Amino acid sequence: TRHLTILGLESSCDDTAAAVVRARIENGAPVGPGRILSSVVVGQNALHAAFGGVVPEIAARAHAERLDLCVERALAEAGLALRDMDAVAATAGPGLIGGVLSGVMCAKGLAMGAGLPLVGVNHLEGHALTPRLSDGLPYPYLMLLASGGHCQLLAVRGPGAYERLGGTIDDAPGEAFDKAAKLLGLGYPGGPEIEREAAAGDPSRFALPRPLLDRPGCDMSFSGLKTALRRARDLLVERQGGLTAADRADLCAAFQAACAEVLAEKTRRALAQERARAGAAPALAVAGGVAANRTLRAALEQAARDEGGAFFAPPPALCTDNAAMIAWAGAERFARGARDGLDLAARPRWPL
């Protein structure tokens, strides 16, 4: 058997990452699970916390400063040198353009310097193929990607064959969690904070809407939920002059329950739609930071069980932004003959 060893770079949002992944190649295609020889992720939460969200200019500067070090560490931890790589893969979009540019330029320099092939990877494809890297999940499957920047239901039918069945029409769910946390005076990132508060809360005390659930299809909306939360908060503040710990917990529980129900119900619809199309329900796999939420996970697992499909949740470190998924997606593309030149462009928008 042949192997591909790929160096991956990721810098499209607020994590600077480099990883070395080895993929076994059979019949010209990588077969998972892949071997993650190293995976270095340097986050920027502390740099953005004061702003309650990612500040693009601060993120771009931090990526530019840290990419070299991440690459050095990833190679050292893998016990390999740049010349041992078969190719260099980097996220070429979609994402915050300054960060994407930093990663693409770094990858170009490495590829040119070491005489290695360069492969530009779509960040969404990285997430979409993660269950193949982690579990060797065979095609086809349904992927729910729910993060701070993205929300998509993707039918992953085969190599390079993706269909977007639905997604958010406004905010991404992680963004909604972050804004909700800010509204309630909680820290950043908001998802884990809300989940922690919600554990002590009653999800039924406040009736928050379930946006778009009454409409057909798999599209979702989260910005109205945030507005409803603000209204509930303002009402309490007006009446009592502030929020008690119990109020905050109940608001968090209600918000989390609404997000989980919307995501799980739309995912259930997508599973049913794919089952009708293919005759059997596809496996459901999740990715993105929001997929770490236990209430959401339980709801998704239930949806998969109801529709008769398996449920896969890669380990949290592979669900959030990382470069191992970019290296793996690079391997899948490289094995199929994909090569990029030094004219590879960084793209802020790049639908799969």
Nearest distance from residue 270's CB to ligand KG4, in Å? 20
| Residue 123 annotated in ligand binding | yes
Which residues between 171 and 190 bind ligand KG4 (CB under 6 A)? Answer: 174-175, 177-178, 189-190
Is 293 near ligand KG4 (CB under 6 A)?
Answer: yes
DSSP annotation of 295: H
Q: Which helix (H) or strand (E) holds 61?
A: helix 56-78
Kindly state the tokens that stand for 77. Answer: 């931890």
| Concatenated DSSP letters of 233-246 | HHHHHHHHSS--HH
Nearest distance from residue 198's CB to ligand KG4, in Å? 9
Q: How far is CA 87 from CA 31, 117, 141, in A?
A: 17, 5, 27
For the chain, the maximum distance between any two Cα atoms, rounded to a whole number of angstroms, is: 70
Q: Which is nearer to ligand KG4, 192 or 209 (CB)?
A: 192
| CA torsion, ordered 195, 156, 39, 174, to nearest 10 deg | -30
Is 288 near ligand KG4 (CB under 6 A)?
Answer: yes
Kindly state the tokens that stand for 297. Answer: 């996970």
Number of other residues whose CB lies within 10 A of the CB of residue 277 = 13
Among 321, 322, 324, 350, contact with Zn ion (rule: CB under 5 A):
321
CA distance 324 to 76: 15
| Residue 148 annotated in ligand binding | yes
Nearest distance from residue 341's CB to Zn ion, in Å? 26
Instruction: Please choose, from the candidates 320, 219, 224, 228, the residue with its C-alpha nearest in 3D space to the C-alpha of residue 12.
Output: 320
| CA torsion, ordered 110, 112, 114, 120, to nearest 10 deg | 60
- Which residue minimizes CB distance to ligand KG4? 191
Count of residues near ligand KG4 by CB under 6 A? 20
Strand order in the sheet with 2-10: 29-43, 15-26, 2-10, 87-93, 118-122
User: In degrees, to the nearest 5, what angle opens at C-alpha 134 toward C-alphas 21 and 42?
Assistant: 60
Kindly state the tokens that stand for 278. Answer: 């293919």
| Residue 127 annotated in ligand binding | yes
Count of residues near Zn ion by CB under 5 A? 2
Among 149, 166, 309, 314, contact with ligand KG4 (rule: CB under 6 A):
149
CA distance 228 to 109: 48
Among 9, 13, 23, 116, contact with ligand KG4 (rule: CB under 6 A):
13
Nearest distance from residue 308's CB to Zn ion, in Å? 29
Q: Which is nearer to ligand KG4, 120 or 314 (CB)?
A: 314
Nearest distance from residue 74's CB to ligand KG4, in Å? 19
Encoded one letter per residue, x for contact with ligand KG4 by CB under 6 A and - for no contact, window 118-147 reads -----------------------------x
Kindly state the tokens that stand for 71. Answer: 């690459």
Q: Which is nearer to ligand KG4, 93 or 189 (CB)?
A: 189
Nearest distance from residue 147's CB to ligand KG4, in Å? 3
Among 289, 309, 314, 330, contact with ligand KG4 (rule: CB under 6 A):
289
> Are the CB atoms for 330 and 106 separated by under 8 Å?
no
Is 10 near Zn ion (CB under 5 A)?
Answer: no
> Are the CB atoms for 254 and 225 separated by under 8 Å?
no
Nearest distance from residue 281's CB to Zn ion, in Å? 26
Which residues between 105 and 164 bind Zn ion (CB under 5 A)? Answer: 147
| Residue 301 annotated in ligand binding | no
**Which residues does the annotation place in the binding site for Fe cation?**
123, 127, 321
List contacts with ligand KG4 (CB under 6 A).
13, 147-149, 174-175, 177-178, 189-192, 195, 288-290, 292-293, 320-321
List contacts with Zn ion (CB under 5 A).
147, 321
**Which residues does the annotation place in the binding site for substrate?**
145-149, 178, 191, 195, 293
